[in-house]
Amino acid sequence: MEVQSINQAVAIAGVQFAYPSSSTPFIKDCDIDLPRGSRCLLIGANGAGKTTLLQIVAGKYMVGQDMVRILGRPPFHDTALTCSGQLSYLGTSWRKDVAFAGYGVPLQGDISAGKMIFGVEGVDPVRRARLITLLDIDLYQRVNTMSDGQRRRVQICMGLLKPYDVLLLDEITVDLDVVGRLQLLDFFRAECEERGATILYATHIFDGLEGWITHLAYMEDGKLVKSGPVTELAEVAAVQQGQCKLLHVVERWLEAECQSRHARQAALKAAGGEQGSNGSETTIKPNRTPVSMPSKHLAFFR
Ligand SMILES: Nc1ncnc2c1ncn2[C@@H]1O[C@H](COP(=O)(O)OP(=O)(O)OP(=O)(O)O)[C@@H](O)[C@H]1O
């Protein structure tokens, strides 16, 4: 890998990763360069590999030291990156991990939100107060009496208490109401513009993201098929100029992906074989439409 510019926050180059249950790499051909201060939207169909890629970038899986660099350092090998909070990951597994291990406080327990939030040491009180207000947290409410969305707000608050340089978000706003989500997006934008923080955000909810994102990365079956600054992606640039909706652009990409998968499967079926959605293995993806299942299962859906 070339020497990284000091302005580069995230550098992903030639990353390859296979889950232990598979002999072939699922993640491949993924290159992303994000300068400091950027906000990159990571999108793709269910099962495309967004969470896997985010977890690789978060240093949860080992890949070659040159394949992923965060602030010039390899996240799996350089554990100080995550321990210091410079690299932070908030996602669905974070919900499970932090619920029982984060800061030694059980998030499902009979404890007030305030006790949990104020239990985190070394926090700037101004930042903490700003987050509590922003996320509209009732400090006196016990977390075991909270709704999913309220508990989610406490989790997000705790995850953002310490300022990060690079933040990885995996569908964290899914339980939030519309206003809460938009306010959080504004907070993130300010973090990027004022402090030079960098955000990589995987989501299926595009509301409020037009004009928010600076970069986009679209994954298909473990590969990045479109990525770069929004100004360099013609269809997304049109979104930024208000000519169309991001939702509709992504919908077109997903439909095209689906159609080409079906065409591949039909061709294989005609040739007498069976193939999985990535064209290399025979699999059933439970979150795909029935049409993508091997032909022997289609009978159930006819
Ligand atoms: N621990 C694991 N072991 C083996 N395969 C896994 C594991 N975790 C995920 N996968 C597989 O990797 C693929 C990508 O999953 P991943 O969760 O990264 O997708 P995603 O794009 O985040 O999907 P979604 O939008 O549904 O959250 C899927 O086919 C999934 O079944």
pLDDT score of 29: 83
Q: What is the pLDDT of residues 153-170, one digit of tens each?
A: 998 999 899 999 999 999
| Beta carbons within 8 Å of 45's beta carbon, 6+ residues apart | 220, 254, 257, 258, 288
> What band does 234 get if pLDDT is binned at 50, 70 and 90?
confident
pLDDT score of 77: 95
pLDDT score of 239: 84
Cβ of residue 52 lying under 6 Å from some atom of ligand 1: yes
Does an H or E element contain 47, and which? none
Cβ of residue 259 lying under 6 Å from some atom of ligand 1: no
Query: Does 84 map to a domain?
Result: yes
Domain containing residue 191: 8-95+163-264
Query: Does 289 map to a domain?
Result: no
Query: Does 69 map to a domain?
Result: yes
Residue in 30, 50, 168 to alter for ligand 1 test, most ligand atoms within 8 A of Cβ: 50
Cβ of residue 44 lying under 6 Å from some atom of ligand 1: yes
Query: Does 136 map to a domain?
Result: no
Tokens of 126: 């101004």
Cβ of residue 93 lying under 6 Å from some atom of ligand 1: no
Cβ of residue 46 lying under 6 Å from some atom of ligand 1: yes
Span 247-274, average pLDDT: 87
Q: What is the pTM of this model?
A: 0.83
Query: Does 167 map to a domain?
Result: yes
Span 115-123, average pLDDT: 92
Q: What is the pLDDT of residues 5-46, one digit of tens each?
A: 679 999 999 999 999 888 899 999 899 999 999 999 999 999
Total domains present in the chain: 1
Does ipTM come in above 0.90? yes
Query: Does 54 map to a domain?
Result: yes
Which atom from ligand 1 is nearest to the alpha carbon of 52?
18
Span 45-66, average pLDDT: 94
Pairing of strands 215-220, 223-229: antiparallel
Specify burial of residue 285 (Cβ count, 10 A radius: 0-12, 13-18, 19+): middle
The whole-chain average pLDDT of the chain stands at 84
Q: Percent of the chain at pLDDT above 90?
A: 59
Q: Which residue's CA lies nearest to atom 28 of ligand 1?
A: 47
CATH number (domain holding residue 253)? 3.40.50.300
Query: Does 248 map to a domain?
Result: yes
pLDDT score of 100: 40
Query: Does 214 map to a domain?
Result: yes
Span 64-76, average pLDDT: 95
Cβ of residue 24 lying under 6 Å from some atom of ligand 1: no
Q: Which residue's CA lies nearest to atom 24 of ligand 1?
A: 46
Higher pLDDT, 276 or 181: 181
> Phi/psi class of residue 124: alpha, beta or left (left: φ > 0; alpha: ψ in -120 to 50)?
beta
Distance (Å, whole) CA 110 – CA 169: 27
Residue 114 has pLDDT above 50, yes or no: yes
pLDDT score of 98: 47
Pairing of strands 8-17, 68-70: antiparallel
pLDDT score of 92: 64
pLDDT score of 285: 38
Residue 282 has pLDDT above 60, yes or no: no
